[in-house]
């Protein structure tokens, strides 16, 4: 390589670094694509939140592993939401049952009192 100016040398070095960077990215993505072929979604579901976040951070947002991690986060959020809703519904059901019983007993007592007073 024959450089006549520092600018040409600098441009050549930058181009070389950019080529190396792109090759490294391509190699990493190829490795991730191979790993994806053997990925078991059950393993992802069994990871703790911390482990899932760490695993997801290894991948770019446009890689399939990242998408699977996002789906797992959504599944966990939905599961927590359903669990909270069911718990609240159970509590409301018990309050409803208690209110119905109190209302029925109150109504029976009131009816009994009205019958006693009317005699």
Percent of the chain at pLDDT > 70 equals 96
Name the band, by pLDDT with cuts 50, 70 and 90, for residue 49: very high
Q: Are 65 and 114 in a shared domain?
A: yes
Name the band, by pLDDT with cuts 50, 70 and 90, for residue 14: confident
Question: DSSP characters for 12-54?
Answer: HHHHHHHHHHHHHHHHHHHHHHHHHHT--HHHHHHS-HHHHHH
Q: How many domains does the chain have?
A: 2
Q: Are 25 and 51 in a shared domain?
A: no
Tell me if 53 sits within 8 A of 25, measured CB to CB.
no
pTM, whole model, 2 decimals? 0.63
| pLDDT over 90 at 87, yes or no | yes
Give the domain range for residue 19: 1-38
Comparing 4 with 97, the larger pLDDT belongs to 97
- What is the pLDDT at residue 111? 93
Q: Are 25 and 50 in a shared domain?
A: no
Q: Are 47 and 16 in a shared domain?
A: no
φ/ψ (deg, to 5) at 74: -65, -40
């Amino acid at each position: 390589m024959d450089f006549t100016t520092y600018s040409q040398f600098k441009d050549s070095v930058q181009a070389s670094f950019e080529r190396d960077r792109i090759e490294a990215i391509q190699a990493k993505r190829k490795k991730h694509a191979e790993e994806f072929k053997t990925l078991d979604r059950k393993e992802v579901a069994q990871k703790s939140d911390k482990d899932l976040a760490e695993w997801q951070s290894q991948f770019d947002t446009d890689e399939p592993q990242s998408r699977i991690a996002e789906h797992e986060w959504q599944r966990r959020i939905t599961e927590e939401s359903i669990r909270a809703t069911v718990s609240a519904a159970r509590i409301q059901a018990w309050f409803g049952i208690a209110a119905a019983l109190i209302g029925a007993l109150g109504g029976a007592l009131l009816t009994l009192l009205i019958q006693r007073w009317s005699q």
